[in-house]
Amino acid sequence: MKKSLISFGLAAALVAPVTAEAFTIPGGVRVNPVNDQVFEVIPKSSGSFEEIWCGASEYARRVKGAAWQDLVYVVQGRSTSVTTGRKTAVQFSLSSEVAGKSLPSPQGWLALGFKPGNRMTVQSARSYCDHSRVRF
């Protein structure tokens, strides 16, 4: 009995880091850490503007502990995922220094791309969860 409890404890300890890295929101949008400051949103298919910003906001809030008024910055626009190899991913950070580029004016309602330096508050990005098929 004691051996089985130890085995179970070791198995749980090995599985915990793997599950801590995986973050998926309803609708199948996955978010993986790239490093300590950068994370990438990987949509199930090509991914809509809304799904990608929704994924970024949920990860920033739930995993990174960002406040509603903290800014989420685009680090890299649509490109191949560095964590999964999938065709479409967008990288984000909560750090303006990591975004690297001289930051453009805050994007308005008409900006529909993902350019490095684009930014949005966690709260504004979270509002896209209500516009997409993603529901909580």
Average pLDDT, the chain: 80
Helix (H), strand (E) at residue 38: strand 38-42
Domain chopping of the chain, boundaries: 22-131
The secondary structure of residue 96, as a DSSP letter, is: H
Question: CB 50: neighbour CB atoms within 10 A?
Answer: 19
Q: 70: exposed, middle or buried (C-beta count within 10 Å: 0-12, 13-18, 19+)?
A: middle
Confidence (pTM): 0.75
Q: Is 7 left (phi over 0), alpha (psi -120 to 50) or beta?
A: alpha
More reliable by pLDDT, 76 or 47? 76
pLDDT grade for 31, boundaries at 50, 70 and 90: very high
Task: Tell me the percentage of the chain whose pLDDT exceeds 90.
Answer: 54
Residue 78 has pLDDT above 50, yes or no: yes
pLDDT grade for 17, boundaries at 50, 70 and 90: very low
